Structure 1
Amino acid sequence: MKPRIHLGSRVVGAGDTPYVIAEIGVNHDGSLETAKLLIDLAKNGGADAAKFQTYKAETLASKHSPAYWDTTKEATRSQYELFRKYDVFGPDEYKELAKHCASVGIDFVSTPFDDAAADLLAPLVPFFKVASADLTNTPLLRRVARAGKPVVLSVGASTLEEIDGALATLRAAGATS
């Protein structure tokens, strides 16, 4: 029997049509209306899920972390300042986005970057999507595993040992898929 996983509105596995996630991230530029438009475009483009990012700048970057980008194109001067620029949605906005997704027939997903974000998202998302940068973030992996939902891991630039470690952490904390 081929392994299968329930992701939102679909069950997927080997040989099934791919489950397509439209990465909206923070491309809404802080506008709820733009976020809803991007959800609509994702749905019209055939995506199964519209995915955002949920974080608070103060838990993601130091105020003293320097810019690593071309500051002639993006004027923010620190990583904290850049993350803060897009750190505008709170619980009400995420609930509204989840509601809008449901109304147009697309799954709402958002990547949590800390425990508070995972707790906020748990009642709103059908599964958790963990960023590759958090593959070794054991506390966050434990938190999402304990929510009892499927977990999708990004593994870009990770070693096999890091991937195995993340899977072991998730399973030890109760994740089943």
Structure 2
Amino acid sequence: MKKWIVLVLLVGILSGCGSGGAKETSETKKQTETASTTAASSSKKATSSSEKKLKLTDVDFQVEGTAYKMKILDKWEILEDEEFSFSAGNEDEADGVMVYGIKKTDVNDIEILKNSLRDEYVAVDDFQIKEETIKEEAYQTSHYTGELHSFVGVAEGANAELRFYVLETETDYVVVNFFGLPSFFDRNEELVTEMMNSFVAV
């Protein structure tokens, strides 16, 4: 599945961000204890302020010829990618969303898509999944039922969290795939839920 190859490349971006963070931490330790404490305190305040300012914006796209809309973070750049019906993200912060799907008339049932996902994410050598983090659970948006498949994995020493929301719409089986550092989901759980609830055919 070519989609997975692109996803692994995105995980590479995540690992790059993780490495940069480690260097900053190392440099901070070289500072005096007082300066380090002050910097950490300022950083927390700035992050908190920034998180409060996150806004959502509406986007429209098609999945296998069916028009859909949803809300995404307005800081995300919409990406042109032939492998996905829709893709957006923030390269600097290594988080984003990808949407793709298949016509219900082309497969027998949604289990085919779920099994394909499972086969793909356990078969990637460069991305080591932390098995204790794997979750599969029923999921309900404001419009659709489905399942959430999520896990945390490690690529080149950095953690990345992937969430696959597998939904059944009237005409399609759709995967809405969010990715980011685990802290992205810790900080923005409500926004992710809001984005998922906004996903609907138009």
Common topology (TM > 0.5): no
Structure with bigger gyration radius: 2
In the superposition, the TM-score normalised over structure 2's length comes to 0.26
Q: Which has the higher contact order (CA 8 A, sep 6+)?
A: 2
In the superposition, the TM-score normalised over structure 1's length comes to 0.29
Structure ranking higher in strand proportion? 2
